[in-house]
Amino acid sequence: MQISEHQPISLWDSSAAEPDPDTTAPRGDREAELAIVGGGFTGLSTALHAAQAGHDCLLLEAERIGHGGSGRNVGLVNAGVWLPPRKAMEVLGPERGRSFVEYLGRAPGYVFDLIEAHQIRCEPRREGTIHAAHAPSGLRDLSRRAAQWEELGAPVELLTGDEMEARTGTARYHGGLLDRRAGTVNPMGYARGLARAAAAAGARIATGVRVTSLRRDGDGWVLGTTRGQVRARHVVLGTNAYSDALWPGLAESYVPIDFFQLSTEPLGARAAQVLPGGQGLWDTGQIMFSLRRDAAGRIAVGSMGRVMGALSHRWAARRLRHLFPDLGPVRFEQAWSGRIAMTDDHIPRIHRLAEGLYTPIGYNGRGITTGTMFGKAMAGLLSGEAEGDLPLPLSDLHRPRARRLRTAFFRAAFAANQLMKSV
């Protein structure tokens, strides 16, 4: 287990076998062909693939590697997007939509191939993930999703209630959808492993460096930072749900959704019946619930919202009692939360903010796969690949409808959900 001097931001931070890289940057001005802002999945994948293509890359992270959503992720390596395949095709058009759905359908395989190629120590398990039907209506939705994925040749399987009980250890679900392409990882371990691989490929990575300004200068960019200026020809912002005021309007281009998790102490044989096949799970509820185990036998449960002290602990204990009444009392060791960037249509974006300035954003809870693949796509674009080869067309910034009102409503609804389900 990695022992760190800092306060862990999540279970994955404190338990990752990959060490936290020593990437503290010296003061002084620097130059690079490509400057990348953000040390999460997107920025690290961009740095890795661009460095492998021979580019001079400098990645700047304000905190530590994986400090944002990447290190607080649930760790589900899922295929596709939030939407059912047919709905994604309606939004994007039949041809582009099918291409994009199939592109992200292959994404888990690419992630696990990267893990294998670079021997990333992140507890990878490619046993699939399970989308669980919380009600009969959820099972009807999953049945439609299964049919649509099967039309595309995806290895998915619709599970009955009895089959779900055997695979999850609880009789509370009405059925489920098993996606054999998917799996689980320790997300912080994956992020640190990407950083190690990117550095080995020649990328420079600097943590503890906040980018405070960004301006065009001739045919390139000048980034003002807390440790000097950086001049670069191209810039990729890989900040996703942790975007700030660095570029006007970027932080307002999505609806921020909080997601919190709690993890138990290692439970050993007591929890052997919980997801015995090693899959991760999320459900069809409007306020989503997630469940998984780690390599040490801890159970991690999560839902939309923020950690609310003792209330969240009561919520988690009640959820486990509801699902696994024979488990008995458990002690929760860690609680944490992160942010998801949601778009109006649940489709991510690749924005060209200005000449030579790009940002992939709006992953809608699919950060591991989408961030990895979009980082690879950014490196390809900057290496001369055509814009038409990108997984999505380049787009302009767009502010979601009633963003502030929706953000406030969601936070109130998520808090009320915790309160009601903890009593």
Question: Could you state, in chain order, the average pLDDT of each consecutive group of 10 residues for the chain (423 residues)?
Answer: 68 97 82 98 98 98 97 97 95 96 97 98 98 98 97 97 98 98 98 98 96 97 97 98 97 97 96 96 97 96 98 97 96 97 96 98 97 98 96 95 94 96 88
Q: What's domain 11-73+188-253+345-401's superfamily in CATH?
A: FAD/NAD(P)-binding domain (3.50.50.60)
Do you know the residue count of the chain? 423
**Measured between alpha carbons, how far is 85 from 323 in angstroms, rounded to an integer?**
30
pLDDT at 209: 96
C-alpha span between 283 and 316 (Å, rounded)? 15
Angstrom distance (rounded) from CA 333 to CA 335: 7
> Mapping DSSP to helix (H, G, I), strand (E, B) and coil, where does residue 293 land?
strand
First and final C-alpha spacing in the chain = 36
Closest CA to 392 of 382, 379, 377: 377
DSSP 345: T
Question: What tokens were used for 210?
Answer: 């906040």
What single letter denotes the amino acid at residue 119? Q
- At 229, list the tokens: 């200026």
**Which region holds residue 241: left if phi is over 0, alpha if psi is between -120 and 50, else beta?**
alpha
Res 2: pLDDT = 41
Model pLDDT, residue 3: 40
User: Residue 4's pLDDT is what?
Assistant: 47
Per-residue DSSP letters for 20-66?
A: PP--BPPSS-EEEEEEEE--SHHHHHHHHHHHHTT--EEEEESSSTT
Q: At what angle do helices 367-382 and 107-117 cross, to 10 degrees?
A: 80
Taking the CA atoms of the chain, what radius of gyration do you get in angstroms? 21
pLDDT value at residue 5: 59
Whole-number Cα distances in Å, 155 to 70, 89, 177, 406: 27, 19, 11, 36
Residue 48 has phi, psi (to 5 degrees) of -60, -50
